[in-house]
Every structure is written in C-alpha cells, then in structure tokens.
Structure 1
Amino acid sequence: MQHEKKVMRTYHRELALSFVVYAVLLFGANWLGRPMADGVLRTAVLLSPVIGFGLMIWTIARHVRRIDEFMRQSLLETFAIAAAITAAVTFSYGFLETAGFPRLSMFAVWPLMGASWMLVCLGRWLLKR
C-alpha cells in the first residue's frame, strides 16, 4: 500500500508540473504569438504549448510503467473504453455537421476525451460498489 501511495504522489507531482509548463507556454504563446506577423517564428511560438502536452504524455507513460499489473490493466481498459466513446461521439458529430450543425474545433476532442474518461471511471467505481 505504501508503494502505491508513493507512486501516486510522484505521478500527481509530475503531472502538476507538466501542466504548469503547459499553462505557462499556452499563456506565453497567446500573449506573444497572436500579435506576431505570420511566419516560421510565429508558428513555433504558437506550437510551443505542445511541449507541455508532451511532458504530460511522458508523465502518464512513466506512471503506467510504475504501477502494478492489475492497476495497469484497469487503467488501460478504462482508457480504451473512453477512447471508443470519444471516437463514437466525434464520428457521429461528423455526420451532424453534414446535416448543418456548426463545425467544431479539434480543441473540443480533448475535453470530450477527459469527460469520457471520468464517466468511465465513475461507472467502473459504481459497479464495484
């Protein structure tokens, strides 16, 4: 049990740090990049938040390697179901766009994925009770 708590503390600390990097880069990119003239430098500045996002991916991958097999299987099953829900919703909305619904930005996919992941976690937790 102590190992699991240590692993979770490390994960939360690393994820928080990577999120802070992402937020700082996002704020900086919007503040500096938006008024810049079009060009390679502006593109690089506006893409810089991806560095923080990459750190989040790296943190999650490290966490998956640290946890035991049961937790890894549970986490990956939850993620797979959430990914399938996200795929179904975005695919369905594609058809709705053809029917005249407004086009959505790709930025809508990540919050949808997060919401799907939380719903699956909640559903699995309720089923265990």
Structure 2
Amino acid sequence: MQQDRQVSQHERRIARRYMLELGGSIALYIALMAVSALSAEGMQAGALKTALAVLPMAGFLLMIWAIARQVQRMDEYVRRQVLETIAISAAVTAGATFTYGFLESAGYPRLSMFTVWGVMGGSAALASLIRCKMCRQ
C-alpha cells in the first residue's frame, strides 16, 4: 500500500524557486543562442565570431548554478539517490564513448559531441527507472 504524500509549503516554495532559476537561465540561453546565430552569420573568422559562438554558454553556466542550488536544497536521501544516478550515467556514458572511439578507429563514422548528451540523458533515465523499480520491490 502506497501512502499519499502531501507536499509542504516549503517544498512548493523550493520547487517554484528552482523553476524560476532554471527557467530564467534557459530563457537567457535561448535568447543568447538567437543573438549568437544571427550575429555570427556571415562574419569572418576571428575573436569576435569566437566570442559570439560561445555567448550562449553564459546561460548554460547559470543553469549549472540553478541545478547546484537545487541539489543543495534537497533532502539528504534524495540528494544521494540523484548523485548515485548521475554517477551511474556518467560511467555508462564514459564506457559508451570510449567504445565508440575505438570503433571510429576501425572505420565507423565520427559522431558529433552532442551525441554524448543523448547517451548521458538516456542512461540517466534508464538508471532512474531501474532504481525506482528496485526500491518498490
């Protein structure tokens, strides 16, 4: 039998603060992506084009800040579960990327670095699902 869990005012306030912090940083990231894409188009290679290319990373750094703050606000047990899941997904991602690196030397096509995020996100989701099922048994 599963107990109904009521969410406290404090937990709601923390969740709202996190959504504002993360949502604001994502909005800034998207805005800076647009500025970067529109401004750098047709520009000659150089320091200014390089600076414009990495401009969206300011929003990304704020995302890291928002996530780190949320992890600090988490209950110890939840924090441990989240960090263990991240560690598992990082290990799976490392194994997959090393393996594919060796396959590239055997003639497999090169993949974009953005592929790594898909592997990490997928392995984190899978690790979370497996852990949830294990906790319920």
TM over 0.5: yes
Aligned with 2:75 (options 68, 82, 92): 68
Q: Look up the equivalent residue of 1:75 and give its one-letter code.
A: V
Deviation at 1:52, TM superposition (A): 1.1
Q: Unaligned regions of 5+ residues in structure 1, if any?
A: none
Is 1:15 aligned to residue 37 of structure 2?
A: no
Q: Of 111, 116, 119, which residue of structure 1 is paired with 2:123?
A: 116
**Deviation at residue 71 of structure 1 after TM alignment:** 1.2
Q: What residue in structure 1 maps to residue 114 of structure 2?
A: 107
Instruction: Summarize deviations over 1:5-37 as a string: whole Å, max 9, x none.
Output: 332232222212211111221222122113211
Q: Letter of the aligned partner of 1:87 in structure 2?
A: A
- Structure 2 counterpart of 1:68, one-letter code: D
Paired-residue identity, %:
48
Return structure 1 stretches of 4+ with deviation > 3 angstroms: none
The alignment yields a C-alpha RMSD, in angstroms, of 1.4
TM-score, normalising length from structure 2? Answer: 0.86
Larger Rg: 2
- Deviation string, structure 1 residues 66-86 (Cα, Å, up to 9, x no partner): 112111111111110111111
Partner residue, 2:32: 25
Indicate the structure with greater helix content: 1
> Residues 20, 45 of structure 1: CA spacing in aligned structure 2 closer, same or farther, 3 A cutoff?
same
Counterpart residue number, 2:52: 45
What letter is aligned with 1:57? Answer: I
Q: Is the CA contact 1:7–1:67 (under 8 Å) kept in the aligned structure 2?
A: no
In structure 2, the CA distance between the partners of 1:83 and 1:98, relative to structure 1 (3 Å rule), is: same
Aligned residues: 129
User: More displaced, 1-10 or 18-27?
Assistant: 1-10
Distance in 1 of aligned mates of 2:129 and 2:107: 33
Supply the distance in 1 between the matched residues of 2:118 and 2:107 (Cα, whole angstroms).
23
Partner of 2:65: 58
